[in-house]
Structure 1
Amino acid sequence: MTTHTPPANAEELKRAVARDGVEFLLVMFVNLRGKACAKLAPAHTLDRLLTEGLGFAGNAADGLGQTSADPDVVAIPDPTSYVRVPIQENLGIVQCDLYVRGEPWPYAPRGILRRQLERLAAQGLELKAGAEPEYFLVRRTDDGGIRVADELDDAASPCYDAHAATRALDHLTTISRSVDALGWGNYSNDHEDANGQFEHNFGYADALRTADRVVVFRHLVRLAAHRAGLIATFMPKPFADLTGSGLHLHLSVWEGHRPLFEAADDPRGLGLSRQAYGFVAGVLDHAPGLMALTCPTVNSYKRLGARAGTLSGSSWAPGYASYGGNNRTHMVRVPDTGRIEVRCVDSAANPYLALAGLAAAGADGMARDADPGHPLDADLEATGTAADTGSLRPLPPTLLHAAEALAADDVLREGLGKTPDGYYTDYYAAEKRAEFDGYHRQVSDWELRTYLQV
């Protein structure tokens, strides 16, 4: 049995672990890159975990602002994050907040999001989020490459293909049952626009809980795929000729039980309030720097842009800092009254950092009562729309451009907070510059084919 109401405190956590027959806990956190790091702890050590935590060498975990000379980061479980792993008997997961010498560690992504949400809470506001995680199921080839797991999944336009989805039924139903067992409210599972690509949808929650869910979801999907002899990859663009994977985020701000983004009298016809337009304007204004958080890898930028050479003819990823109604070619889409969808987030994004950045950008727009202008109806993927996009700001073309924009954005700098060495955005941007440099120093097959005999 799995409770649909998460434990509210340490005592409820102990009762939930005992009730669920959990024998071991993955004591988990993520680093800068969103990698799930964990130690396996016997459940009988729970009292000690909750008071003393578990120590980790932060430099070994990577992306936590430490060297080998630094003291341990101590992971202390958040009781409200507990889940029992539905597809692994006797195993549970708890997400942790990180401390060094008894103080919250400012390089911990979950702590960064928590602190930004606390700033909103001080104004009586709460950010709620829903996530749409996409991924590919692939197999290794004999030469070390990858191919789509299902050899029959080769249609030029496979989105919503009933036969392809049915062939993947064992995997899809395993994930659907797992998500429902966790109480997240699974309501859709589908074959996406690329061969071998899938998406699962579940209910929205407060932003911290949704970020926790994304981390657990990725772990479950990878575990289920591994057991079937497959690889589940959240790499944004594993195939040059196929649509990339996103992590579209649906956002709304609430004041108590009152949703602030709804307005029946919106003259622009989107059902959005003045606060919602301010939030949208903030996201668009800070789009260049946000991209380093929402599209955090070199590979991310091969997914972006109009008509990205895909078999289906669409990229489903924005190229401009723009917004519109129910129009999937924009960075911000308004699919319904009372919420917005941010479509520049990809499958590799660290959900804590992406949501922290979006919260900071949106809060800035609300505070300034900023106006994003009128929504655009144009199809920004269609050819011949250059005149429509002349006044729009293109999104950064590479990770390096986005990292430089993040380092220069004062609002995001304050939103993600300070570290002992300066600001987290400076540390993050430096890591991403190094990542881009490592990529740029490689000599690719394309370069050999193009330049070898020039």
Structure 2
Amino acid sequence: MNRVGEKVKPVKSSARAKASGRTDIERFVEDPKRTKLVAEVRKKIDALGIDYLYLQFVSVTGRIMGKGIPADHWESVAQKGFQLVYGATMNLFLNRRGDYLGYGPEAAELIGIPEPETFMQLPWDKRVARLWCTLFRNREEREEPGAFLTADARGNLRRIHDEFKKEHGLELRHGTEPEMMWLKKGTDGQPDGGYSNPYCYHIDQFESLRPVYLRVIDYCRQMGLDMIQGDHEDSPGQLELNFTYDDALRTADRLATYRQICAQVAREFGIIACFMCKPFMGVSANGCHHNISLWRGGTDETKTLGNDERKLPGMVQNYLYRKGGENTFMPDTDDIQLPGKIGLKAIGGIVKHLGALTAIGCSTVNSYRRLWDTGFWAPVFSDWGFQNRTTGLRVSAPGRFEYRAVDAMVNPHLMAAALIKAMDDGLKNNLDPGKPEERNIYQAMEAGKQVKKLPMTLGDALAALEKDAVIRSAMPGEMYRLYDEYKRDEWERFLHTVTEWDTKTYLDCLP
């Protein structure tokens, strides 16, 4: 049952599965290529001395969920998978009325099937390895047994991207700029300010966090993240460490892995890894700009990243990066500041759907503190330009488009799927983004330019998402219902909470 008592609608199996007479889960498990990979994982387990396996997936909010099993049972779980309540996709949380979000206790259990190609030893405990999983409906359900579970954010992204590739002959490659803050931990275990001073690009502040970021980078490289640059940003303890852009699913997986690595490093140093968007007012927030481009062709190349190729701590697929091909966002006129025709249409789709996209990129109540704290280059306006940070979107370099209305709390798999759907609309309908804005957007507005604002609260963003069928299609089947239910409950919790601001403002205002 959902939050208004409506029965959950069954999802439909893929057409190919029906045509073959097999369910989605049967086709997935029985793939001959996968059978070979399962055997290769056993060799890795034995060679690396792995005792335990984390089988993980991404919840609706981007939290890493799953189960652990002894490595002795690898072959069995690779074939049968593991079962977990459907509500795990909603973090198994209660709404403010005390009911389980998304699924009640009477719901069936999902099936998680590990993807052997994602096997990776954890560098901080070499007895343990992790694998990403694809989720399915239970084999014994009365309707659509064994179908792909549409509450699976990772699985949805893979299928949506595959459809986009088939229709347009294009693939999304993107990179992210994950800002986050390293905070001191007080005697009560709570945050006690930033680990460094808020001096942007200051090498001495960067140096103060050297032991932390070097360990992050070391773990990242062992787990297949090609780290390329880093700096100290302009908030207390704020760092940005970047890794190479790649295929959409691999980039989303790597961002999720990066967060897990930061959490582990924080435990090792007794500090806090904070991905909250706006823990401090008056300084910049934790953004997570997405730099995107659409490509034709290309091949996968292996980057061992300093690891011994003969003894990689994970399957080789973790070290693949998409290279070559044609970047269709590159200029195709004499104006090197303008993307090509495909890029302009893609931007047109994103500009059209910015309101609904904001509900995914700025996914928490706290996200909107970033938009309200003016003067820190927050992407407030629905406009675009070339290297213009006062607009919500910008061409950050020839062939690359920076989507700015996204912060560090984003579910990267949902975000990538939503951007694909927005660009799909732009390509199909030849959407024109309008002329790029070269002026400071605030000065342009003073001169009379009419500019549409993004939604400025989570509630307004959810309302925009509800009206936008294109972006909702990035959350197929049950996913939109689940996301909307989770986030509306979050918004309602905030609205019915008395805050410190309330008491400071109203406690003694009368008589």
Give the structure-1-normalised TM-score: 0.90
| Aligned equivalents of 2:218, 2:36: Cα separation in 1 | 24
SS of 2:157's equivalent in the other structure is helix
8 Å Cα contact 2:201-2:231 kept in structure 1: yes
Measure how far apart 1:44 and its partner are.
Answer: 2.1
Q: Deviations over 1:318-343 (max 9, x none)?
A: 00111111222222221222221111
Comparing 289-298 with 61-70, greater Cα deviation is found at: 61-70
Alignment partner of 1:292 is 2:329: no
SS of 1:282's equivalent in the other structure is helix
| Aligned equivalents of 1:361, 1:206: Cα separation in 2 | 17
Measure how far apart 1:263 and its partner are.
Answer: 3.6
| Aligned equivalents of 1:90, 1:436: Cα separation in 2 | 41
- Between the aligned residues of both structures, percent identity stands at 30
Larger radius of gyration: 2
SS of 1:279's equivalent in the other structure is helix
Alignment partner of 1:181 is 2:222: yes
Matching residue within 43, 49, 52 for 2:80? 52
Partner of 1:164: 205
- Which letter does structure 2 place at the counterpart of 1:104? F
Partner of 1:77: 114
| Aligned equivalents of 2:267, 2:476: Cα separation in 1 | 37
Matching residue within 22, 25, 29 for 2:57? 29
Partner of 2:400: 339
Partner of 2:340: 273
Give the structure-2-normalised TM-score: 0.80
| Aligned equivalents of 1:70, 1:453: Cα separation in 2 | 49
| Aligned equivalents of 1:441, 1:336: Cα separation in 2 | 44
8 Å Cα contact 1:116-1:416 kept in structure 2: no
Alignment partner of 1:364 is 2:364: no
Alignment partner of 1:418 is 2:477: yes
| Aligned equivalents of 1:63, 1:390: Cα separation in 2 | 44
8 Å Cα contact 2:380-2:392 kept in structure 1: yes
Describe the shift of the 1:205–1:404 C-alpha distance in structure 2 as closer, same or farther (beyond 3 A).
same
Partner of 2:315: none
| Aligned equivalents of 1:148, 1:14: Cα separation in 2 | 46
- Which letter does structure 1 place at the counterpart of 2:417? A
Describe the shift of the 1:267–1:417 C-alpha distance in structure 2 as closer, same or farther (beyond 3 A).
farther
Matching residue within 365, 371, 381 for 1:320? 381
Alignment partner of 1:137 is 2:182: yes
Alignment partner of 1:212 is 2:253: yes
Describe the shift of the 1:70–1:134 C-alpha distance in structure 2 as closer, same or farther (beyond 3 A).
same
Runs of 4+ in structure 1 over 6 Å off = none
Partner of 1:108: 152
Q: Deviations over 1:39-78 (max 9, x none)?
A: 2222222212211111112225525842211111111112
Comparing 285-294 with 176-185, greater Cα deviation is found at: 176-185
Describe the shift of the 1:444–1:207 C-alpha distance in structure 2 as closer, same or farther (beyond 3 A).
same
Partner of 1:198: 239
| Aligned equivalents of 1:87, 1:120: Cα separation in 2 | 38
8 Å Cα contact 2:289-2:407 kept in structure 1: yes
1:396-411 superposed matches below 5 A: 396-411=455-470
Partner of 1:442: 497
- Which letter does structure 1 place at the counterpart of 2:238? Q
Q: Deviations over 1:231-263 (max 9, x none)?
A: 101110111222110111111112222334244
| Aligned equivalents of 2:85, 2:403: Cα separation in 1 | 35
State the Cα RMSD in Å. 2.2
| Aligned equivalents of 1:247, 1:405: Cα separation in 2 | 21
Describe the shift of the 1:341–1:89 C-alpha distance in structure 2 as closer, same or farther (beyond 3 A).
same
| Aligned equivalents of 1:118, 1:389: Cα separation in 2 | 44
| Aligned equivalents of 1:144, 1:14: Cα separation in 2 | 41
| Aligned equivalents of 2:213, 2:383: Cα separation in 1 | 34
Partner of 1:428: 483
Partner of 2:197: 154
Measure how far apart 1:9 and its partner are.
Answer: 3.4
Comparing 294-303 with 175-184, greater Cα deviation is found at: 175-184
User: Which ranges of structure 1 fall in alignment gaps of 5 or more residues?
Assistant: 1-6
Q: Deviations over 1:164-210 (max 9, x none)?
A: 11111111101111222223211112211211111111111110111
8 Å Cα contact 2:392-2:405 kept in structure 1: yes
User: Which ranges of structure 2 fall in alignment gaps of 5 or more residues?
Assistant: 1-34, 93-101, 139-145, 299-324
Comparing 429-438 with 84-93, greater Cα deviation is found at: 84-93
| Aligned equivalents of 1:74, 1:296: Cα separation in 2 | 27
